Amino acid sequence: MKKERGLLIVLSGPSGVGKGTVRKTIFSQNDTNFEYSISVTTRKPREGEVDGVDYFFKSREEFEEMIKHDKLLEWAEYVGNYYGTPIDYVEKTLSEGKDVFLEIEVQGAIQVRKAFAEGLFIFLMPPSLSELKSRIVTRGTETNELIENRMKVAKEEIELMDAYDYVVENDHVELACERIKAIVQAEHCRRERIAHLYKKMLEVE
Ligand SMILES: Nc1nc2c(ncn2[C@@H]2O[C@H](COP(=O)(O)OP(=O)(O)O)[C@@H](O)[C@H]2O)c(=O)[nH]1
Ligand SMILES: Nc1ncnc2c1ncn2[C@@H]1O[C@H](COP(=O)(O)OP(=O)(O)O)[C@@H](O)[C@H]1O
Q: How far is the CA of 129 from the centre of ligand 2 (A)?
A: 13
Residue ranges for the binding site for ATP? 13-20
Name the residue of 10, 21, 169 to mutate for ligand 2: max ligand atoms within 8 A of Cβ.
Answer: 21
Confidence of residue 2 (pLDDT cuts 50, 70, 90): low
Ligand 2 in contact with 172 (CB < 6 A)? yes
> Could you give the CA distance from residue 35 to residue 101 in angstroms, rounded to a whole number?
6
Closest C-alpha to 11, from 124, 89, 99: 124
Q: Provide the 10 A C-beta neighbour count for residue 195.
A: 11
Give bridge partners of residue 205 from the DSSP assignment. none
Closest C-alpha to 34, from 57, 1, 11: 11
Q: How far is CA 53 from the centre of its chain?
A: 16
**Which pTM value belongs to this model?**
0.95
Cα angle 42, 45, 46; round to 5: 135
Helices 144-158, 129-139: inter-axial angle, 10-degree rounding: 140
Q: How far is CA 194 from the centre of its chain?
A: 25
The arithmetic mean of pLDDT across residues 122-148, rounded, is 91
Interface TM-score (ipTM) > 0.95: yes
Ligand 2 in contact with 126 (CB < 6 A)? no
- For the CA of 109, the closest atom of ligand 1 is 1
* Res 145 pLDDT > 60: yes
Give bridge partners of residue 75 from the DSSP assignment. 84
Q: How far is the CA of 52 from the centre of ligand 1 (A)?
A: 15
- For the CA of 15, the closest atom of ligand 2 is 23
Name the residue of 106, 139, 146, 147 to mutate for ligand 2: max ligand atoms within 8 A of Cβ.
Answer: 139
Give per-residue pLDDT as tens, 41-50.
Answer: 999 999 999 9
40-41 vs 81-86, strand pairing mode: antiparallel
Q: How far is the CA of 183 from the centre of ligand 1 (A)?
A: 22
DSSP assignment string, the chain: -PPPP--EEEEE-STTSSHHHHHHHHHHH----PEE-PPEE-SPPPTT--BTTTBEE--HHHHHHHHHTT-EEEEEEETTEEEEEEHHHHHHHHHTT--EEEE--HHHHHHHHHH-TTSEEEEEE-S-HHHHHHHHHHHT-S-HHHHHHHHHHHHHHHGGGGGSSEEEE-SSHHHHHHHHHHHHHHHHHHHHHHHHHHHHHHHH-
Ligand 2 in contact with 19 (CB < 6 A)? yes
Confidence of residue 143 (pLDDT cuts 50, 70, 90): confident
> Could you give the CA distance from residue 14 to residue 104 in angstroms, rounded to a whole number?
10
> Could you give the CA distance from residue 178 to residue 176 in angstroms, rounded to a whole number?
5
The residue whose C-alpha atom lies closest to atom 25 belonging to ligand 1 is 104
* Res 144 pLDDT > 90: no
Q: Can you name the CATH fold of 8-37+98-204?
A: Rossmann fold (3.40.50)
Ligand 2 in contact with 11 (CB < 6 A)? no
Give per-residue pLDDT as tens, 67-100.
Answer: 999 999 999 998 889 999 999 999 999 999 999 9
